[in-house]
Amino acid sequence: MATTVSKTKIPLWRKLQQRTWAERWLLLEAGWWLTLMAGALRVVPFKRIVGWCGLAPARGAPSASGPPDQDALAVGWAVRAVAGRTLWSITCLAQALAASQMLRRRGIDSALTLGVALAPEKDARMEAHAWLQHGGVFLTGEGGYQRFTPISTFVCIPATSR
C-alpha cells in the first residue's frame, strides 16, 4: 500500500519566519516603495515621477552587461513577492518603479521599458505594460511582455556609485 503525502499550504507568517532578517527588511522596503509608487501614480503626472526617480530616456536598446548582480535579483524577488500579496492592486508600472528605486539606492543600474499592444478582444483597446531589467534579466514584468511593442525605455541613474 502506497502512502500519500498531503501537501499543506504553509501560512504566510510561517514563511516569513523562515526568511533571514536581511530578507525580511528587503520585503519591508519593497512594501514601502510599492505603496509609495502606487499612490504617486494616482496623483502625480508620470513625467514628474520619472524626474523624481532619476530615470532618463535611453538612447537605443538596453544592453546586457555581464551577469546580473545578486542584490538586483533579490530586489526583483522582494518586489514580486510583496506585490502578489497586497490587499490592493499593484500595477506593473508601480512594481517597475519601486524596484528601480530600490536598485538606485544600491547603486545598481536598470532599464525600465514601457510597451503597448492591442487587446485581443474585438473592441481592440490599447493595453500597456512595464517591465524592469538589469543585465538582460527581468526583475519585474516578465509575464506576457512578448506581445507588447516597446515604445519607451528609461535607464535608472544610480544615486550612489559602487
Kindly report the average pLDDT of the chain as a whole number: 85
Q: What is the DSSP letter of 123?
A: T
Please state, in angstroms and rounded to a whole number, the distance separating the CA atoms of residues 81 and 75.
10
- Read off the pLDDT band of 144 (50, 70, 90): confident
The pLDDT, as a whole number, for residue 55 is 93
Are the CB atoms for 54 and 112 separated by under 8 Å? no
The pLDDT, as a whole number, for residue 15 is 67
Residue 61 pLDDT exceeds 70: no
pLDDT tens per residue, range 147-156: 999 999 999 8
Enter the C-alpha cell of residue 32: 514601502
Are the CB atoms for 62 and 155 separated by under 8 Å? yes
The pLDDT, as a whole number, for residue 49 is 95
Please state, in angstroms and rounded to a whole number, the distance separating the CA atoms of residues 16 and 14.
5
Mean pLDDT of 124-146: 91
